[in-house]
Structure 1
Amino acid sequence: MSSKNSQLSALIETALVAALAMALSYIPDFASWFTPSFGAIPLVLFALRRGPKYGTLAGLIWGLLHFILGKVWYLALSQVIIEYIIAFVSMGLAGFLSVPFQNALSKDNKGRALFYATGGALLAVFVRYFWHFVAGFIFWGS
C-alpha cells in the first residue's frame, strides 16, 4: 500500500474512532458520583495502535464533536479550550507508549504489553482528569 493510501486509511480510522468515542459518551451515567468516560476505551486502544499523532488528532476530533452535537457547558472561552480541546487531546498521550506496547506484542510478551497498555491508559485518563480538575477549580468551584 502506498504512503498516501496508508495515511488516508489512518485518517479515516481516526475519524471513525472519534465518532465511536462520541457515541459511547451518550451512555447514561449509572451513578451521580462517578461519571465513566466509555469513549476513552477505543481512543486509548487506537492511540496504542497508531501512536500519539493520530491519537491526539482523534482526541481533538472527539472534543470538537461536542460542539457540533451541542454537548458543551460554556462559562468562558478559556474554560472551553481547557475542557474540550486540551483535555480531549490529552487522551492521545497513550500513544507515546505505542512503540514499547507494539514491541511487546510482537515478541509475544503479553504481560509486558498489558503493562504498557495500562500505563498508556492511566497516563491519558489522569492527564485528562487533571485538565478537568484545573477547569473545575478555576471556573466551576464558586
Structure 2
Amino acid sequence: MSQTVAAIRGVKARGVVVPLKRMVRTAFGVIDSGPLVLIDVETDQGVTGRTYIFAYSKLTLHPLCYLIEEIGRELAGRPVAPFDLLAVTPTAHWLEFLDFAGAILARPAEIVEGSVTARGPGLGIEWNEPAVAKYLVS
C-alpha cells in the first residue's frame, strides 16, 4: 500500500510581541512580554503545521522572519518528514512549560497530569488571528 508523502508548499513567518500572563525575573530584569516568531508550514495536501520560537528581543523579529521565509523557499517542494521530537528525547518525562504564546492561541495549551495535551495533529496549535493582529510587529 503506497501513501503519498505531503510536500512543503510554503512557509510563513510573522513577528508578534505578546504580554506574558506570568512575568519572568532574570538577572537582567523582568520580562513581561514575549517577542515570538509564529511559523506556519503549509503542505500541498492542505495541512498546515504551526509552531513558534522565542526571539529574545523585538530587534530580532524581522531578521528571523526573513531567514525562516528564505529557508521555506528553499524547502518548497520537498517532502515533509514529521515526527514527535519530544518522544525521542531522553528527557521526555521532564516538562518545562513557559506559556509564551497563550495570549495568541485560539485554545491555550492545557497541562494534564504533567503533560501538554494534544488537540489535533502535532499539538493542534491554532492562532487566534484577531489577537495575532493586535500584537503583530510590522
Query: TM-score with structure 1 length normalisation?
Result: 0.25
Question: Structure 2 length as normaliser, TM-score?
Answer: 0.26
* Structure 1 or 2: more helix by fraction: 1
Q: By percentage of residues, which structure has more strand?
A: 2
